Copies of this chain bind each other. A is one copy, B any other.
Amino acid sequence: MDTVSINKSHGGEQGVYKHASDSTGTEMIFSVFVPPHEAGAKLPVLWYLSGLTCDHSNVTEKGEYRAACAEEGVIFIAPDTSPRGDDVPDEDGYDFGKGAGFYLDATQDPWAQYYRMRSYIEDELPALIAAEFPMADMARQSITGHSMGGHGALTIGLRGGERFRSVSAFSPVVAPIGVPWGQKALSKYLGEDRAAWRQYDACALIADGARVPELLVEQGTADQFLDEQLRPELLREACEKAGIDLTLNMREGYDHSYYFISTFLGDHIRWHAERLKR
């Protein structure tokens, strides 16, 4: 792992790092904020998965999370959303290919060689964090994300078993099997066998038996993608059937942007911190 930059901020250190990833076969960049802490302290970890078109830098610059992480003593990790580089296959359009990895392991050529973000987030990057950040308490992890990254947080969280103490999301894609973004990505990355899609769909995972005790979801009512791509009512129905305690905060007048996320990300950090410290 190489350090790209470290800047002191809110009493802690905002770092950006790169490493050669075995999962994707590319160099991958991610950011980590380590809050101020006593020498030898072990700090819980919050993962933040970003949305379409983003890399680590969007939330790092616009997320306004450092104040709350410093107050609560939480490490904040922001990975990229896909493999990058000239060798990596891509397509025109913002919703597939680079910047749109959908947190899955692709099975179809030419995507399968590089697009392995599930393995990267579930296995490789946590191992790297554990090895390189001795203050990170990997026994206390939580996860959140935005839009496509909200889909990532929900599906990785639902499949994650004991790994995560808590799972939340902002404006998540909750049912990709049934919406245009998801249908495009899942068919191209995974092929036409829809049975293989269900492990990458939060509502399908819940219908198939995956459980977490509770979920926190933040959603703006003025979000341009609300009705066609996000459809939080489907998550509400799935959670009601499954007995999952969903808190779905519909926020009047907020859109899909970081102006929305940054308004409520501190609240999510405090919600996760409460669960990470139990």
Name A's B-contacting residues (CB within 8 A).
7-11, 14, 61-62, 64, 66-67, 220, 222, 253-255, 257-260, 262-263, 266
Contact = CB atoms under 8 A, between A and B. Distances in A.
Contacts of A14: 259
A8 B67 contact: no
A259 B9 CA distance: 5
Contacts of A66: 64, 262-263
Contacts of A222: 8
A9 to B, nearest CB: 4
Contact of A263 (B10, B258, B262): B10
A207 to B, nearest CB: 34
Copies in the complex: 2
B263 A11 contact: yes
A61 B64 contact: no
Majority SS at the chain A contact face:
mixed
Nearest to A220: B8
Given A8-B259, A64-B262, 5 more contacts: A7-B257, A7-B260, A8-B263, A14-B259, A62-B62
Closest 9 pairs (CB-CB, A-B): A9-B259, A7-B259, A8-B253, A64-B64, A10-B263, A8-B254, A61-B62, A9-B263, A14-B259
A257 B66 CA distance: 15
A62 to B, nearest CB: 5
Contacts of A10: 262-263
A211 B14 CA distance: 39
A67 to B, nearest CB: 7
Nearest to A63: B64
Contacts of A260: 7-9
Contacts of A263: 8-11, 66
A53 B217 CA distance: 38
17 contacts: A7-B257, A7-B259, A8-B220, A8-B222, A8-B253, A8-B254, A8-B260, A8-B263, A9-B254, A9-B259, A9-B260, A10-B263, A11-B263, A14-B259, A61-B258, A64-B67, A67-B67
A262 B9 contact: yes
Contacts of A258: 61
A66 B258 CA distance: 12
Nearest to A61: B62
Contacts of A11: 263
A6 to B, nearest CB: 10
A7 B255 contact: yes
